[in-house]
Amino acid sequence: MQVEPESDAMAGEHSVSEDPSSQSAMQFGEYKDSLVATISQHLDLKHHCTSSAAYRIADLGCFVGPHTLDAMRTITEAVKDKYKAGGQSFGIPEFFVYFNDRVTNDFNALFAKFPEDRQYFAAGVPGSFHGRLFPKASLDFVYCSKAVHWLSKVPEEELTDPNSAAYNPDRISYINAPTAVCDAYLGQFTKEMESLLSARAQELVHGGLMVLVIPGRANGTQYPSVSQVFMPLETILLDLAKEGMVSKNKVDLFNVPMYFPSPEELKNIIIQKTVGFEIVELSTFTRSSLPVFPTEVLRGAYGGLLTKHFGTEVAEQALDRYEKEIPTLRLRNPAEGNGVFIYVTIKFKKS
Amino acid sequence: MQVEPESDAMAGEHSVSEDPSSQSAMQFGEYKDSLVATISQHLDLKHHCTSSAAYRIADLGCFVGPHTLDAMRTITEAVKDKYKAGGQSFGIPEFFVYFNDRVTNDFNALFAKFPEDRQYFAAGVPGSFHGRLFPKASLDFVYCSKAVHWLSKVPEEELTDPNSAAYNPDRISYINAPTAVCDAYLGQFTKEMESLLSARAQELVHGGLMVLVIPGRANGTQYPSVSQVFMPLETILLDLAKEGMVSKNKVDLFNVPMYFPSPEELKNIIIQKTVGFEIVELSTFTRSSLPVFPTEVLRGAYGGLLTKHFGTEVAEQALDRYEKEIPTLRLRNPAEGNGVFIYVTIKFKKS
DSSP collapsed to 3 states, chain B = CCCCCCCCCCCCCCCHHHCCCCCCCCCCHHHHHHHHHHHHHHCCHHHCCCCCCEEEEEEECCCCCCHHHHHHHHHHHHHHHHHHHHCCCCCCCEEEEEEEECCCCCHHHHHHCCCCCCCCEEEEEECCCCCCCCCCCCEEEEEEECCCCECCCCCHHHHCCCCCCCCCCCCCCCCCCCHHHHHHHHHHHHHHHHHHHHHHHHHEEEEEEEEEEEEEECCCCCCCCCHHHHHHHHHHHHHHHHCCCCCHHHHHCCCCCECCCCHHHHHHHHHHHCCCEEEEEEEEEECCCCCCCCHHHHHHHHHHHHHHHHCHHHHHHHHHHHHHHHHHHCCCCHHHHHEEEEEEEEEECCC
pLDDT averaged over every residue in chain B: 85
Spatial separation of the C-alpha atoms in residues A277 and B288, rounded to whole Å? 57
Q: What's this model's pTM, rounded to 2 decimal places?
A: 0.89
Spatial separation of the C-alpha atoms in residues A10 and A178, rounded to whole Å? 25
Contacts of B338 (CB under 8 A, 6+ apart): B217, B218, B221, B223, B224, B225
β-pair type (A94-101, A54-60): parallel
Is residue B60 within 8 A of residue B20, CB to CB? The reply is no
Given a cut of 90, whether residue A253 has pLDDT beyond it is yes
Predicted pLDDT of residue B92: 87
Predicted pLDDT of residue A294: 65
Is residue A248 within 8 A of residue A172, CB to CB? The reply is no
Q: Is the peptide bond before A93 cis (omega within 30 degrees of 0)?
A: no
Enter the DSSP assignment of A248.
H
Predicted pLDDT of residue A12: 31
ipTM of the complex: 0.88
Enter the DSSP assignment of A93.
P
Number of Cβ within a 10 Å radius of residue B324: 11
Q: Look at chain A and count its residues.
A: 351
- Residues A60-67, mean pLDDT to the nearest whole number: 92
Enter the DSSP assignment of A222.
-
Predicted pLDDT of residue A227: 74
> What type of residue is B157?
E
Question: Does A119 contact B1 at a Cβ distance shorter than 8 Å?
Answer: yes
Question: Does B124 contact A126 at a Cβ distance shorter than 8 Å?
Answer: yes
* CA-based nearest distance A145→chain B, Å: 20
Among A1, A6, A103, A106, pick the best mutation site for testing chain B contact (most B Cβ within 10 A): A1
Spatial separation of the C-alpha atoms in residues A20 and B349, rounded to whole Å? 53
Closest CA to B71 of B149, B150, B147, B152: B147
Contacts of B303 (CB under 8 A, 6+ apart): B14, B315, B319
Predicted pLDDT of residue A106: 96
> What type of residue is B246?
V
Among A76, A107, A128, pick the best mutation site for testing chain B contact (most B Cβ within 10 A): A107
Is residue B155 within 8 A of residue B185, CB to CB? The reply is yes
Enter the DSSP assignment of A252.
H
From the centroid of its chain, how far is CA A234? 22
pLDDT tens digits for range A206-222: 999 999 999 998 888 87
Number of Cβ within a 10 Å radius of residue A112: 13
Is residue A105 within 8 A of residue A64, CB to CB? The reply is yes
pLDDT tens digits for range B285-333: 876 545 556 667 678 778 889 999 999 999 999 999 988 876 665 544 5
Spatial separation of the C-alpha atoms in residues B93 and B120, rounded to whole Å? 10
Spatial separation of the C-alpha atoms in residues B145 and B149, rounded to whole Å? 10
Enter the DSSP assignment of A16.
G
Nearest CB to A121; choose among B106, B124, B133: B133
CA angle, A272 then A277 then A281, to 5°: 100
pLDDT averaged over every residue in chain A: 85
Enter the DSSP assignment of A47.
G
Q: Please give the radius of gyration of chain B, using alpha carbons only, rounded to the nearest integer.
A: 21
Residues of A within 8 A of B134 (CB-CB) are: 96, 121
Q: Is the peptide bond before B66 cis (omega within 30 degrees of 0)?
A: yes
From the centroid of its chain, how far is CA B336? 20
Distances (CA, A) of B150 to A196, B216, B255, B257: 42, 11, 12, 6
Predicted pLDDT of residue A330: 53
Residues of B within 8 A of A49 (CB-CB) are: none
Question: Does B52 contact A52 at a Cβ distance shorter than 8 Å?
Answer: yes
Q: Look at chain B and count its residues.
A: 351
Closest CA to B115 of B82, B79, B68: B68
Cβ-Cβ contacts under 8 Å between A and B: the total is 104
Question: Does B1 contact A121 at a Cβ distance shorter than 8 Å?
Answer: yes
Among B48, B110, B111, pick the best mutation site for testing chain A contact (most A Cβ within 10 A): B111
Compare B19 and A324 and report the one with higher pLDDT.
A324
In Å, the largest CA–CA distance within chain A is 73
Spatial separation of the C-alpha atoms in residues B126 and B98, rounded to whole Å? 10
Predicted pLDDT of residue A340: 84
pLDDT tens digits for range B309-322: 999 999 999 999 98
Spatial separation of the C-alpha atoms in residues B109 and B64, rounded to whole Å? 6
Question: Does A108 contact B106 at a Cβ distance shorter than 8 Å?
Answer: yes
- The string of DSSP codes covering A309-347 is HH-HHHHHHHHHHHHHHHHHHTTSSGGGGGEEEEEEEEE
> Which parts of chain B have pLDDT scores under 70?
1-26, 49-52, 87-90, 287-295, 297, 326-338
pLDDT tens digits for range A330-345: 544 545 556 788 999 9
Question: With the C-alpha atoms ordered A298, A299, A304, A310, is the resulting torsion angle positive or negative?
Answer: positive
Enter the DSSP assignment of A255.
-
Residues of A within 8 A of B124 (CB-CB) are: 107, 111, 123-126
Predicted pLDDT of residue A273: 84
Burial class (CB in 10 A: 0-12, 13-18, 19+), B224: buried
Given a cut of 60, whether residue A51 has pLDDT beyond it is no
> Under the phi-then-psi rule, with left for phi > 0, alpha for psi from -120 to 50, and beta for the rest, what region is B244?
left
